[in-house]
Chains A and B, each alone.
Chain A
Amino acid sequence: MEIFEIVTYFILLALLSTAIRVVTTSNVIHAAISLVFTLALTAILFLILSTEFVALVLVLVYIGAVIVLFLFGIMITRAPLGKNAELDNDKNKKLGAAISGAIFLLFSYILINGFNGNVTITSGSSTELLGEILLTRFIFPFELVSFVLLAALIGGITLARKDEALIDEDQV
Protein backbone atom coordinates (compact mmCIF):
# COMPACT_ATOMS: atom_id res chain seq x y z
CA MET A 1 0.00 0.00 0.00
CA GLU A 2 3.00 2.29 0.48
CA ILE A 3 3.55 2.80 -3.26
CA PHE A 4 -0.07 3.94 -3.65
CA GLU A 5 0.49 6.78 -1.20
CA ILE A 6 3.63 8.02 -2.97
CA VAL A 7 1.87 7.93 -6.34
CA THR A 8 -1.12 9.76 -4.84
CA TYR A 9 1.05 12.55 -3.43
CA PHE A 10 2.72 13.02 -6.82
CA ILE A 11 -0.68 13.18 -8.51
CA LEU A 12 -1.96 15.73 -5.98
CA LEU A 13 1.09 17.95 -6.54
CA ALA A 14 0.69 17.76 -10.32
CA LEU A 15 -3.04 18.48 -9.93
CA LEU A 16 -2.27 21.64 -7.95
CA SER A 17 0.35 22.91 -10.40
CA THR A 18 -1.84 22.38 -13.47
CA ALA A 19 -4.82 24.01 -11.73
CA ILE A 20 -2.68 27.04 -10.85
CA ARG A 21 -1.65 27.20 -14.50
CA VAL A 22 -5.33 27.22 -15.60
CA VAL A 23 -6.07 30.41 -13.69
CA THR A 24 -2.75 32.26 -14.07
CA THR A 25 -1.57 31.70 -17.65
CA SER A 26 -2.01 34.57 -20.06
CA ASN A 27 -2.68 32.32 -23.05
CA VAL A 28 -6.26 31.10 -23.54
CA ILE A 29 -5.33 27.89 -25.37
CA HIS A 30 -2.79 27.01 -22.68
CA ALA A 31 -5.50 27.44 -20.03
CA ALA A 32 -7.79 24.98 -21.85
CA ILE A 33 -4.97 22.45 -22.34
CA SER A 34 -3.99 22.75 -18.66
CA LEU A 35 -7.60 22.01 -17.75
CA VAL A 36 -7.29 18.80 -19.82
CA PHE A 37 -4.30 17.77 -17.69
CA THR A 38 -6.14 18.67 -14.47
CA LEU A 39 -9.09 16.50 -15.46
CA ALA A 40 -6.86 13.61 -16.58
CA LEU A 41 -5.05 13.66 -13.22
CA THR A 42 -8.43 13.76 -11.47
CA ALA A 43 -9.44 10.66 -13.43
CA ILE A 44 -6.24 8.90 -12.31
CA LEU A 45 -7.02 9.87 -8.69
CA PHE A 46 -10.52 8.39 -9.10
CA LEU A 47 -8.97 5.18 -10.45
CA ILE A 48 -6.73 4.98 -7.38
CA LEU A 49 -9.80 5.44 -5.18
CA SER A 50 -11.36 2.42 -7.01
CA THR A 51 -14.24 4.29 -8.63
CA GLU A 52 -13.39 3.30 -12.18
CA PHE A 53 -16.75 4.05 -13.82
CA VAL A 54 -16.71 7.69 -12.69
CA ALA A 55 -13.13 8.03 -13.93
CA LEU A 56 -14.12 6.77 -17.38
CA VAL A 57 -17.18 9.06 -17.46
CA LEU A 58 -14.92 11.98 -16.54
CA VAL A 59 -12.54 11.21 -19.41
CA LEU A 60 -15.37 10.70 -21.90
CA VAL A 61 -17.58 13.66 -21.00
CA TYR A 62 -15.06 16.26 -19.88
CA ILE A 63 -11.95 15.64 -21.95
CA GLY A 64 -13.91 14.28 -24.91
CA ALA A 65 -16.76 16.77 -25.13
CA VAL A 66 -16.53 19.76 -22.79
CA ILE A 67 -12.94 20.72 -23.67
CA VAL A 68 -13.71 20.51 -27.39
CA LEU A 69 -16.69 22.79 -26.77
CA PHE A 70 -14.40 25.20 -24.90
CA LEU A 71 -11.88 25.27 -27.74
CA PHE A 72 -14.71 26.00 -30.18
CA GLY A 73 -15.90 28.79 -27.87
CA ILE A 74 -12.40 30.29 -27.65
CA MET A 75 -11.98 30.26 -31.41
CA ILE A 76 -15.48 31.51 -32.28
CA THR A 77 -15.26 34.47 -29.88
CA ARG A 78 -11.95 35.40 -31.56
CA ALA A 79 -9.97 35.47 -28.35
CA PRO A 80 -6.45 36.65 -29.23
CA LEU A 81 -4.31 33.53 -29.53
CA GLY A 82 -0.88 33.67 -27.98
CA LYS A 83 0.13 35.80 -25.03
CA ASN A 84 -2.47 38.35 -24.03
CA ALA A 85 -1.82 40.87 -21.27
CA GLU A 86 -5.43 42.02 -21.31
CA LEU A 87 -6.76 38.64 -20.16
CA ASP A 88 -6.66 39.44 -16.45
CA ASN A 89 -8.34 42.26 -14.64
CA ASP A 90 -5.37 43.62 -12.71
CA LYS A 91 -7.53 45.73 -10.41
CA ASN A 92 -9.19 42.60 -9.01
CA LYS A 93 -6.00 40.55 -8.55
CA LYS A 94 -5.27 41.44 -4.92
CA LEU A 95 -8.91 41.20 -3.87
CA GLY A 96 -9.33 37.87 -5.67
CA ALA A 97 -6.20 36.44 -4.07
CA ALA A 98 -7.37 37.57 -0.62
CA ILE A 99 -10.87 36.12 -1.01
CA SER A 100 -9.71 32.80 -2.46
CA GLY A 101 -6.96 32.51 0.14
CA ALA A 102 -9.49 33.09 2.93
CA ILE A 103 -11.81 30.45 1.44
CA PHE A 104 -8.91 27.99 1.16
CA LEU A 105 -7.77 28.53 4.75
CA LEU A 106 -11.32 28.18 6.10
CA PHE A 107 -12.08 25.02 4.10
CA SER A 108 -8.78 23.32 4.88
CA TYR A 109 -9.11 24.17 8.59
CA ILE A 110 -12.59 22.61 8.69
CA LEU A 111 -11.61 19.58 6.61
CA ILE A 112 -8.41 18.83 8.55
CA ASN A 113 -10.13 19.14 11.91
CA GLY A 114 -13.41 17.52 10.95
CA PHE A 115 -12.40 14.42 9.05
CA ASN A 116 -9.68 12.10 10.12
CA GLY A 117 -9.75 8.72 8.55
CA ASN A 118 -7.94 6.12 6.57
CA VAL A 119 -9.01 4.70 3.28
CA THR A 120 -8.22 1.12 2.43
CA ILE A 121 -7.83 0.72 -1.30
CA THR A 122 -9.72 -2.31 -2.45
CA SER A 123 -9.30 -3.93 -5.79
CA GLY A 124 -12.33 -5.07 -7.70
CA SER A 125 -15.05 -3.53 -9.75
CA SER A 126 -18.04 -1.62 -8.43
CA THR A 127 -19.54 -0.73 -11.81
CA GLU A 128 -22.13 -3.52 -11.89
CA LEU A 129 -23.54 -2.53 -8.50
CA LEU A 130 -23.44 1.15 -9.48
CA GLY A 131 -25.55 0.52 -12.57
CA GLU A 132 -28.04 -1.50 -10.56
CA ILE A 133 -28.43 1.26 -7.95
CA LEU A 134 -28.63 3.97 -10.61
CA LEU A 135 -31.51 2.22 -12.38
CA THR A 136 -33.49 1.21 -9.29
CA ARG A 137 -33.07 3.52 -6.30
CA PHE A 138 -32.10 6.62 -8.33
CA ILE A 139 -34.24 6.06 -11.42
CA PHE A 140 -36.29 9.26 -10.97
CA PRO A 141 -33.31 11.67 -10.78
CA PHE A 142 -31.72 9.74 -13.66
CA GLU A 143 -34.71 10.37 -15.93
CA LEU A 144 -34.95 13.97 -14.69
CA VAL A 145 -31.31 14.57 -15.67
CA SER A 146 -31.96 13.22 -19.15
CA PHE A 147 -34.83 15.72 -19.45
CA VAL A 148 -32.52 18.52 -18.27
CA LEU A 149 -30.01 17.53 -20.98
CA LEU A 150 -32.75 17.69 -23.63
CA ALA A 151 -33.81 21.13 -22.38
CA ALA A 152 -30.17 22.32 -22.45
CA LEU A 153 -29.76 21.00 -26.00
CA ILE A 154 -32.85 22.84 -27.25
CA GLY A 155 -31.93 25.98 -25.28
CA GLY A 156 -28.38 26.00 -26.63
CA ILE A 157 -29.53 25.69 -30.23
CA THR A 158 -32.18 28.37 -29.77
CA LEU A 159 -29.72 30.79 -28.18
CA ALA A 160 -26.83 30.27 -30.57
CA ARG A 161 -28.49 30.24 -33.96
CA LYS A 162 -29.16 33.40 -35.92
CA ASP A 163 -32.84 34.35 -35.82
CA GLU A 164 -33.69 35.34 -39.38
CA ALA A 165 -37.13 36.73 -38.47
CA LEU A 166 -35.61 39.07 -35.87
CA ILE A 167 -33.03 40.43 -38.31
CA ASP A 168 -35.77 41.17 -40.86
CA GLU A 169 -37.75 43.08 -38.25
CA ASP A 170 -34.73 45.25 -37.44
CA GLN A 171 -34.22 46.12 -41.07
CA VAL A 172 -37.88 47.15 -41.50
Chain B
Amino acid sequence: MIVQPVLVVAAALFSLGIYGILVRRNAVMVLLSIELILNSVNINFIMFDTMLADTLMQGQIFTIFIITIAAAEVGIGLAIVLMLFRNRQTANINEFDLMKW
Protein backbone atom coordinates (compact mmCIF):
# COMPACT_ATOMS: atom_id res chain seq x y z
CA MET B 1 0.00 0.00 0.00
CA ILE B 2 1.33 3.44 -0.92
CA VAL B 3 1.77 5.83 1.99
CA GLN B 4 1.22 9.18 0.25
CA PRO B 5 -2.61 9.25 -0.03
CA VAL B 6 -2.98 8.63 3.70
CA LEU B 7 -0.49 11.40 4.51
CA VAL B 8 -2.24 13.84 2.17
CA VAL B 9 -5.63 13.05 3.73
CA ALA B 10 -4.09 13.66 7.17
CA ALA B 11 -2.83 17.05 5.94
CA ALA B 12 -6.33 17.81 4.61
CA LEU B 13 -7.85 16.98 8.00
CA PHE B 14 -5.32 19.30 9.65
CA SER B 15 -6.18 22.22 7.35
CA LEU B 16 -9.91 21.58 7.79
CA GLY B 17 -9.40 21.83 11.54
CA ILE B 18 -7.55 25.14 11.09
CA TYR B 19 -10.46 26.38 8.93
CA GLY B 20 -12.95 25.38 11.62
CA ILE B 21 -10.99 27.19 14.34
CA LEU B 22 -10.83 30.38 12.26
CA VAL B 23 -14.43 30.39 11.07
CA ARG B 24 -16.58 28.94 13.85
CA ARG B 25 -18.25 31.30 16.29
CA ASN B 26 -19.37 28.83 18.96
CA ALA B 27 -16.62 27.89 21.46
CA VAL B 28 -17.69 24.21 21.56
CA MET B 29 -17.37 24.04 17.76
CA VAL B 30 -13.80 25.39 18.02
CA LEU B 31 -12.98 22.55 20.45
CA LEU B 32 -14.45 20.08 17.91
CA SER B 33 -12.09 21.46 15.26
CA ILE B 34 -9.14 21.00 17.63
CA GLU B 35 -10.12 17.33 17.94
CA LEU B 36 -9.97 17.10 14.14
CA ILE B 37 -6.39 18.44 14.17
CA LEU B 38 -5.31 15.98 16.89
CA ASN B 39 -6.88 13.17 14.89
CA SER B 40 -4.88 14.08 11.79
CA VAL B 41 -1.67 14.02 13.85
CA ASN B 42 -2.63 10.55 15.11
CA ILE B 43 -3.11 9.31 11.55
CA ASN B 44 0.35 10.62 10.64
CA PHE B 45 1.98 8.94 13.64
CA ILE B 46 0.35 5.57 12.93
CA MET B 47 1.20 5.75 9.22
CA PHE B 48 4.87 6.41 9.93
CA ASP B 49 4.91 3.74 12.64
CA THR B 50 3.67 1.16 10.15
CA MET B 51 5.94 2.46 7.39
CA LEU B 52 9.14 2.43 9.43
CA ALA B 53 8.27 -0.76 11.39
CA ASP B 54 9.94 0.63 14.50
CA THR B 55 10.86 -2.01 17.06
CA LEU B 56 10.06 0.36 19.95
CA MET B 57 6.60 1.17 18.44
CA GLN B 58 7.04 4.81 19.29
CA GLY B 59 4.34 5.92 16.85
CA GLN B 60 1.66 3.88 18.60
CA ILE B 61 2.86 4.90 22.05
CA PHE B 62 2.84 8.60 21.17
CA THR B 63 -0.65 8.18 19.69
CA ILE B 64 -1.90 6.71 22.96
CA PHE B 65 -0.35 9.64 24.86
CA ILE B 66 -1.94 12.13 22.44
CA ILE B 67 -5.37 10.53 22.92
CA THR B 68 -4.97 10.76 26.71
CA ILE B 69 -3.88 14.41 26.63
CA ALA B 70 -6.74 15.21 24.21
CA ALA B 71 -9.27 13.74 26.64
CA ALA B 72 -7.85 15.90 29.45
CA GLU B 73 -7.85 18.95 27.16
CA VAL B 74 -11.51 18.49 26.23
CA GLY B 75 -12.50 18.21 29.90
CA ILE B 76 -10.67 21.40 30.88
CA GLY B 77 -11.78 23.25 27.73
CA LEU B 78 -15.45 22.46 28.24
CA ALA B 79 -15.18 23.45 31.93
CA ILE B 80 -13.76 26.83 30.88
CA VAL B 81 -16.50 27.30 28.24
CA LEU B 82 -19.12 26.38 30.84
CA MET B 83 -17.77 28.96 33.28
CA LEU B 84 -17.67 31.64 30.56
CA PHE B 85 -21.26 30.73 29.62
CA ARG B 86 -22.31 31.06 33.24
CA ASN B 87 -20.76 34.54 33.49
CA ARG B 88 -21.75 35.91 30.06
CA GLN B 89 -24.85 33.85 29.10
CA THR B 90 -23.30 33.08 25.71
CA ALA B 91 -20.83 30.63 24.15
CA ASN B 92 -20.00 33.04 21.32
CA ILE B 93 -16.25 33.52 21.00
CA ASN B 94 -16.55 37.12 19.74
CA GLU B 95 -17.98 38.19 23.10
CA PHE B 96 -15.08 36.87 25.16
CA ASP B 97 -13.00 40.04 24.85
CA LEU B 98 -12.06 40.55 28.49
CA MET B 99 -8.34 40.06 27.82
CA LYS B 100 -8.37 41.99 24.54
CA TRP B 101 -6.47 45.24 24.51
Q: Mark A41-65, 1 if CB is under 8 A from B, else 0.
A: 0100110011101100110011001
Are A134 and B39 in touch, CB under 8 angstroms?
A: no
Knowing A96-B19, A130-B60, the reply to whether A160 touches B79 (Cβ < 8 A) is: yes
Are B4 and A153 in touch, CB under 8 angstroms?
A: no
Are A156 and B76 in touch, CB under 8 angstroms?
A: yes
Taking residues whose C-beta sits less than 8 angstroms from the other chain, chain A's interface range is 35 or more
Are A101 and B15 in touch, CB under 8 angstroms?
A: yes
B residues within 8 Å of A by Cβ? 1-9, 11-20, 22-29, 31-33, 35-36, 39, 42-43, 46-47, 49-51, 56-57, 59-61, 63-65, 67-76, 78-83, 85-86, 91, 94
A residues within 8 Å of B by Cβ? 1, 4-5, 8-9, 12, 15-16, 19-20, 22-23, 28, 31-32, 35, 38-39, 42, 45-46, 49-51, 53-54, 57-58, 61-62, 65-66, 69-70, 72-74, 76-79, 86-89, 92-93, 95-97, 99-101, 103-104, 107-108, 111-112, 115-121, 126, 129-130, 133-134, 137-138, 141, 145, 148-149, 151-153, 155-157, 159-160, 162
Since A49-B50, A160-B79 are in contact, a sample of 19 more A-B pairs with Cβ atoms closer than 8 Å, ordered by chain A residue number, is A9-B5, A19-B36, A20-B16, A22-B36, A28-B28, A62-B70, A73-B31, A73-B82, A77-B26, A77-B85, A88-B23, A89-B94, A92-B22, A99-B22, A104-B12, A119-B1, A126-B57, A156-B75, A157-B79
Q: Within the assembled complex, what's the spacing in Å between the Cα atoms of A92 and B15?
A: 15
Are A70 and B85 in touch, CB under 8 angstroms?
A: no
Are B23 and A89 in touch, CB under 8 angstroms?
A: yes
Knowing A23-B17, A155-B76, the reply to whether A134 touches B64 (Cβ < 8 A) is: yes
Knowing A16-B9, A103-B14, A115-B3, the reply to whether A79 touches B36 (Cβ < 8 A) is: no
Are A79 and B26 in touch, CB under 8 angstroms?
A: yes
What is the distance, in angstroms, from B32's C-beta to the closest C-beta of chain A?
A: 6
Main secondary structure of the interface of A (DSSP, over half): helix
Q: Within the assembled complex, what's the spacing in Å between the Cα atoms of A104 and B10?
A: 9
Main secondary structure of the interface of B (DSSP, over half): helix
What is the distance, in angstroms, from A118's C-beta to the closest C-beta of chain B?
A: 6
What is the distance, in angstroms, from B75's C-beta to the closest C-beta of chain A?
A: 4
* Between-chain CB contacts (< 8 Å), 15 pairs: A16-B9, A42-B43, A51-B63, A54-B64, A69-B74, A70-B74, A73-B31, A96-B22, A96-B23, A119-B51, A120-B1, A126-B57, A130-B57, A148-B69, A156-B76
